[in-house]
């Protein structure tokens, strides 16, 4: 891989203990995902180690250069944990605008530190498919308010290893103080909520 691409990857995701691979490994083990969409991915290529086809979307110029690297597939080949050859597509556009991807074309939508992906990209996720979202920008809270999604699990990280908790889900999304946030509150603050119990990421299913 080109030295500049490798350097940017190493800078942000170079330590396998902190690249969230354990999260995607757990999700791959619990679901039959073959295609995923990752809006606001930057150069976080780790989902491709677990999902055979992943579509990445980012407006960042470093991401554009990274995904154009002719050695990217070889980089994934030696790290992937499935039998197929990997397929990667990258769109250097804003996910706020229509993407050149079919509606309901993917099994998983990935929302990590990149805004309200659950809302803007819901159409690309098949009904019955999965959303994994954290609450850093309030997207998990937004999905929890959205009747198109139902909560299936909480992804809990300890010592860089994630586990999926599927019981006692009614403990989540209960504000520590005050009234529950509305969609408008979340859009205004673009921040997660202080809950009585919180998880590192949440697994939802698209139901409508």
Which residues in this chain contact ligand SAM in the complex, by CB under 6 A? 39-42, 44, 57-60, 63, 94-96, 112-115
CB of 13 to ligand SAM, least distance (A): 7
Q: Compute the least distance from the CB of residue 178 to ligand SAM, in Å.
A: 27
- Decide whether 176 or 188 has the Cβ nearer to ligand SAM: 188
Q: Which is nearer to ligand SAM, 113 or 174 (CB)?
A: 113
Please say which residue, 20 or 206, places its beta carbon nearer to ligand SAM.
Answer: 20
User: Which tokens go with 205?
Assistant: 């299913």
CB-based contacts of 24, cutoff 8 Å, min separation 6:
46, 47, 49, 50, 51
For ligand SAM, the closer of residues 66 and 149 by Cβ is 66
Largest Cα–Cα distance of the chain, in whole Å? 52
Minimum separation from the CB atom of position 92 to ligand SAM (A): 9
The SS3 of residue 61 is helix
Residue nearest to ligand SAM (CB): 40
Residue ranges of alpha helices (H) inside the chain are 3-13, 21-30, 61-67, 72-77, 117-120, 139-145, 183-189
């Amino acid at each position: 891989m080109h030295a500049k691409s490798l350097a940017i990857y190493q800078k942000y995701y170079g330590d396998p203990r902190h690249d969230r691979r354990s999260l995607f490994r757990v999700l791959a083990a619990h679901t039959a995902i073959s295609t995923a969409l990752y809006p606001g991915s930057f150069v976080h290529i780790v989902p491709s180690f677990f999902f055979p086809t992943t579509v990445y979307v980012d407006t960042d110029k470093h991401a554009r250069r990274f995904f154009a690297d002719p050695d990217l597939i070889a980089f994934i080949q030696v790290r992937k944990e499935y039998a197929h050859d990997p397929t990667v597509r990258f769109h250097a556009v804003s996910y706020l605008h229509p993407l050149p991807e079919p509606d309901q074309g993917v099994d998983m939508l990935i929302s990590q530190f990149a805004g309200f992906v659950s809302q803007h990209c819901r159409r690309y996720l098949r009904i019955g498919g999965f959303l994994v979202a954290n609450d850093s920008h309030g997207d998990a809270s937004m999905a929890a308010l959205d009747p198109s999604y139902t909560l299936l699990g909480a992804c809990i990280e300890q010592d860089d290893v994630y586990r999926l908790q599927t019981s006692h889900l009614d403990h989540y999304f209960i504000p520590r103080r005050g009234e529950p946030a509305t969609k408008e509150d979340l859009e205004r603050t673009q921040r997660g909520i202080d809950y009585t119990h919180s998880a590192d990421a949440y697994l939802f299913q698209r139901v409508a």
